[in-house]
Amino acid sequence: MNINFSKLTAAGNDFVLIDNRESVIAKEDCQSLAKKLCDRKYSIGADGLILLEKSACKDFKMKYFNSDGSCASMCGNGGRSIAKFAYDLGVANLKMVFETDAGVINAEILTEDRVRLDLYAPRDLKKDIKVEVNGKEFDVDFINTGVPHAVIFVDDIEKIDVFGYGRAIRSHKTFVPAGVNVNFVKVIKGNTLLVRTYERGVEDETLACGTGIIASGIISVLKGFAESPVKVIARGGDKLLVSLKNSKDKISNVVLEGPALITFKGTVKI
């Protein structure tokens, strides 16, 4: 049987995507397969594995696995990548609706390499949590944008030890047992953020984290540091846009727009 797969990068967050509508990959094999395929030395290499699965009610379903094999309920850059993958396969039109474990997402292919996601409302906002790690106290805002995120505003985004502090905060007792993705944010002129993210499940800084960029945009607006739509420059240099639709006291839903490129595609016979 031939399996369609692709390698995509979305603002530098890269993924292996597999068309698993015929369920050729068994549930119990997904985590070990993710670790194997995401290994940058002995395999294709990626931040995560994304499976396109059949859905009874939407165009398709997305299942996401980090490069360490852990399963996550959502991936913002992965969502933009699977939209492109699904359109390329002919599974969906330019506008599509798909299921994730965090909720239903509307996606639109805007141009050859730009995709927009319209997501569910974020949840579990907790402001001004004090977290001390490695002798330094951080003022953290927490929000769940499909996966858990800590947002920390810093003055010097170039100098901050994203790996050291990110790893320590990711596993801090405040966030156990699930852990948290850690975003360091610098507000610059022009209603723009610079964001660097230590990603749970990759256990390193990635060049972009879509749900982290959304979390950073939301918290910046709530704190009055920026106005929607917020421009975000990811670590890899790509530009994304976070737009919030506020309704009374909560953010009704969020739109993330940014690049998503197919860098390789093929089929493998099994």
Ligand X SMILES: N[C@H](CCC[C@H](N)C(=O)O)C(=O)O
Residue 235 makes contact with ligand X by CB under 6 A: no
Which of 4, 9, 13, 144 forms a contact with ligand X (CB under 6 A)? Answer: 13
Name the residue with tokens 């927490």.
142
Which of 9, 77, 144, 228 forms a contact with ligand X (CB under 6 A)? Answer: 77
Tokens encoding 42: 């002995």
x-or-dash pattern for ligand X, window 195-234, by CB under 6 A? ----xxxx------xxx-----------------------
Query: In the complex with ligand X, which residue's Cβ is closer, 115 or 224?
Result: 115
Of the candidates 38, 57, 71, 75, the residue annotated as catalytic is 75
Q: Which is it for the CA torsion 210, 212, 214, 220, positive or negative?
A: negative
Residue 9 makes contact with ligand X by CB under 6 A: no
Which residues are paired to 126 by β-bridges?
A: 142
Residue 166 makes contact with ligand X by CB under 6 A: no
Query: In the complex with ligand X, which residue's Cβ is closer, 38 or 91?
Result: 38
Query: In the complex with ligand X, which residue's Cβ is closer, 38 or 202?
Result: 202
Residue 72 makes contact with ligand X by CB under 6 A: yes
How far apart, in Å, are the Cα atoms of 251 and each of 2, 121, 222, 258?
A: 43, 6, 10, 20
Q: Is 75 considered catalytic here?
A: yes
Per the CB < 8 A criterion, the answer to whether 13 and 208 are in contact is: yes
Q: Say how far apart CA 207 and CA 197 lie, in whole Å.
A: 8
Per the CB < 8 A criterion, the answer to whether 260 and 112 are in contact is: no
Residue 38 makes contact with ligand X by CB under 6 A: no
Name the residue with tokens 């990759």.
202
Taken as a whole, the chain contains a residue count of 270
Residues assigned a catalytic role: 75, 209
Which residues of this chain interact with ligand X, rule CB under 6 A? 13, 47, 66, 72, 75-78, 147, 181, 199-202, 209-211
